Amino acid sequence: MVVDCANCPLRKLDLFEDLTPDGVTFMRRFKSGELKVDAGTTLLMEGSNSPQLFTVLKGMGLRYKLLPEGDRQVVNFVMPGDFLGLQAGVMGEMKHSVEATTPMVLCVFNRSELWNLFKTEPERAFDLTWSASVEEHFLGDALTSVGQMTALQRIGWGLLRFMTRCEALGLAKGARCPFPYRQQDLADALGLSLVHTNKTLMKLRDKQILSVQDGTLSIMDRDQLSTMSPLEVEQPARRPLI
Which of the listed partners (DNA, a second copy, none) does 202 bind, with a CB threshold of 5 to 8 Å by partner kind?
DNA
Does residue 218 touch DNA according to CB under 7 A?
Answer: no
Strand locations in 170-235 (E): 176-178, 210-213, 216-219
Contact residues for a second copy (CB under 8 A)? 65, 67-69, 71-73, 75, 86-87, 90-91, 95-96, 115, 118-119, 122-123, 125-126, 128-130, 132-137, 139-144, 146-148, 188, 190-191, 230-231, 237, 239
Q: Which is nearer to DNA, 127 or 185 (CB)?
A: 185
Strand locations in the chain (E): 31-37, 42-44, 52-58, 61-66, 72-78, 83-84, 97-100, 104-110, 176-178, 210-213, 216-219
Coil vs helix vs strand at 214:
coil
Does residue 191 touch DNA according to CB under 7 A?
Answer: yes
Quote the CA–CA distance of 239 and 237 in Å, as a whole number: 6
Who contacts 24 (Cβ-Cβ below 8 Å, separation ≥6)? 5, 6
- Which is nearest to 97 in space by CA: 107, 87, 106? 87
- Which is nearest to 80 in space by CA: 127, 13, 142, 175? 13
Does residue 194 touch DNA according to CB under 7 A?
Answer: yes
**What mask of x and - would describe binding to DNA in positions 126 to 165, judged by CB under 7 A?**
------------------------xxx-------------
CB of 138 to DNA, least distance (A): 21
CB of 192 to a second copy, least distance (A): 9
Which of the listed partners (DNA, a second copy, none) does 222 bind, with a CB threshold of 5 to 8 Å by partner kind?
none
